[in-house]
A = this chain, B = another copy of it.
Amino acid sequence: MTGSLVIAGLGPGDDALVTPEVTAALACATDIVGYIPYVARIPERPGLTLHPSDNRVELDRSRHALEMASAGRDVVVVSSGDPGVFAMASAVFEAVEAGPAEWRSLDIRVLPGITAMLTAAARAGAPLGHDFCAINLSDNLKPWALIEQRLRLAVQADFAMAFYNPRSKSRPEGFVRTLEVLKEACADNRPVIFARNVSRADEQISVVPLQDTHADMADMRTMVIVGSSQTRIIETGTAPIVYTPRSAS
């Protein structure tokens, strides 16, 4: 009996951003595993078992999915956005590496999805149109000193920057410090995009000059994009367009 494990990206929230490849995989699944709000997006049907679980149990969830696939089930682990960007794919492979040898011969596939930074960027214009970096600002899994050093080097490299998980109730001080570091390291007043609940009905996009930003402009449902020194604003009379030109000198 041969099962399979698919790690699929559901995109940022709007079903019109789910790829047909992912939709097809969901249609063949016997079991769906994932964080409660993501599993809630999957319609129930006969023959399908939903296994929602809480946040911060990514390794337990991964082992459960791997065990079911080993037992012959066709399991889909759902992530929001893209599963390979600060999401479930790395957690599953951490479990594979630490787990029994037979997990290495399982049929495991990762199906890409529209990650939040691409949708946030599209809404604002094209702030990631030149070289950029993506940083997870959560210090649950890495020390704050590493984040701060990475921020300074990213400014020095003149990357546009996309920040995932900028701020949570349990550690509000990290994003305060992030903005302090950026205000000091960037001599300019480049645009910062705050994109909350992108692609959802209550989506909110705002563009704020760096020196005017403050930490409560973001929460865990916000994607933050900071322009490079080259990023430009086109005033339109309504929402401004933020883009980074293709060329640099």
Contacts and interface: CB of A to CB of B under 8 A. Distances in A.
A211 to B, nearest CB: 23
Contact of A110 (B96, B125, B146): B125
Contacts of A236: 104-105
Interface residues of A, number: 77
Contacts of A111: 122
A208 interface: no
A112 B247 contact: no
Interface string A9-51: 0010011111111001000000000000000000000000000
Nearest to A93: B243
Interface string A108-126: 1111111100110111011
A100 interface: no
Contacts of A166: none
Given A133-B133, A133-B154, 10 more contacts: A84-B127, A89-B126, A90-B126, A94-B243, A110-B122, A110-B125, A131-B135, A141-B248, A149-B157, A154-B157
22 contacts: A16-B24, A18-B20, A58-B246, A83-B122, A84-B118, A84-B121, A85-B118, A92-B126, A93-B129, A93-B232, A93-B243, A94-B243, A96-B234, A110-B122, A111-B122, A115-B118, A130-B136, A131-B136, A132-B134, A150-B157, A153-B153, A157-B157
State the 4 A-B residue pairs at the shortest beta-carbon distance, nearest first.
A90-B129, A89-B126, A141-B247, A133-B133
